[in-house]
Amino acid sequence: MQNYPKRMRERRKNQKIRDKYSETSLSPADFIFPIFIKEDTEKKEPIKSMPGHFRYSLNDIDEIIRKCEKAGILGILLFGMPSKKDATGSEAWNDEGIVQRAIKKIKRISRLTVFADVCLCQYTSHGHCGFLEKGRIDNDKTLKLLSRIALSYAKAGGDYVCPSAMMDFQVSAIRKAIDMAGFRNVKIMSYSAKFASNFYGPFREAVGSSPKTGPKDRKTYQMDFRNSEEALKEIELDTKEGAEIVMVKPSLAYLDIISKAKEKFGKYKVPIAAYNVSGEYAMLKAAGDEFLYESLIGIKRAGADIIISYAALEILDQKWLKKG
């Protein structure tokens, strides 16, 4: 506890004094920036549901990579959009798939840390994150496919593989598969407490990954947003299974989860990442950059060590942030 003056307003007197006593700040190393890459396209396409964002082609990815390097952020998180989908999502583990080629190119032209999302929903014709059989998602068959994807990303040179399918044992299955192939140096950032949220809307519109057949939503694998004890259990299991970074997703309606996770696991130095998702971004962007800033500060203050944010580049560009 700081030794506070009796008159609290002393610390709010002017900007310099407020800056001196501020307890929270944002720095480039806090941020991971998501990037969408689309196969078989020549030029980047603007994403309507997410102002300022694009589906990049492999050709014109250089520009955004430079911007990320210049901003000095922690890394980028890759999402792929394949030109063909099928029932099992087989393009996801094609060693010449769009994400694999993007990883190789990015590693050739930059020193950015590359995080790659490991999931099936962008690659399956039904739009689910797992193996769909008789109208249900089969957990253990999905594990085999997720392991193949992770291994393929590891071979391409990815630094972190990031399972986001919310299957039980996805972290241990991937850890085992990549270790056995000799990729012990590849790390895992797990989407540990990922809730079945309405805030993913603009993302699904951007990549066309809404469920089309089978269960109408993702509630049999993503978490029920009424639960917090369960979220902490998910995080605990992922740390035991070998995740280097654990994640809470979304962020804003889930600050309590971030805060509890930090309290419970922060002492073991497990970094807690928070994903400030597409719906949150779209809402805040419509309101204005000061709302974005206030919300990102809130996520950091709640205990996030890492923030995955579509606003990373624009926020770090603000003069008022650099000063503070």
Q: How far is the CB of 268 from ligand PBG (least distance, A)?
A: 27
Q: How many CB atoms lie within 10 A of CB 251?
A: 26
Q: How far is the CB of 163 from ligand PBG (least distance, A)?
A: 9
Nearer CB in complex with ligand PBG: 19/53:
53
**Do 127 and 209 form a contact (C-beta atoms < 8 A)?**
yes
Nearer CB in complex with ligand PBG: 100/309:
309
Q: Six-digit token pair at 116?
A: 């790659």
Q: At what angle do helices 255-265 and 289-302 cross, to 10 degrees?
A: 30
The continuous run of DSSP H or E covering 272 comes out as: strand 272-276
Q: Which residues are catalytic?
A: 194, 249
According to DSSP H, which parts of 1-88 are helical? Answer: 15-21, 62-71
Q: How far is the CB of 59 from ligand PBG (least distance, A)?
A: 24
Tell me how far apart the alpha carbons of residues 224 and 194 are, in angstroms, rounded to a whole number.
9
Nearer CB in complex with ligand PBG: 13/216:
216
Nearer CB in complex with ligand PBG: 47/272:
47
**Do 54 and 34 form a contact (C-beta atoms < 8 A)?**
no
Residues that bind ligand PBG (CB under 6 A): 119, 121, 129, 164, 200, 203-204, 209, 218, 277-278
Q: How far is the CB of 12 from ligand PBG (least distance, A)?
A: 35
Tell me how far apart the alpha carbons of residues 315 and 324 are, in angstroms, rounded to a whole number.
12
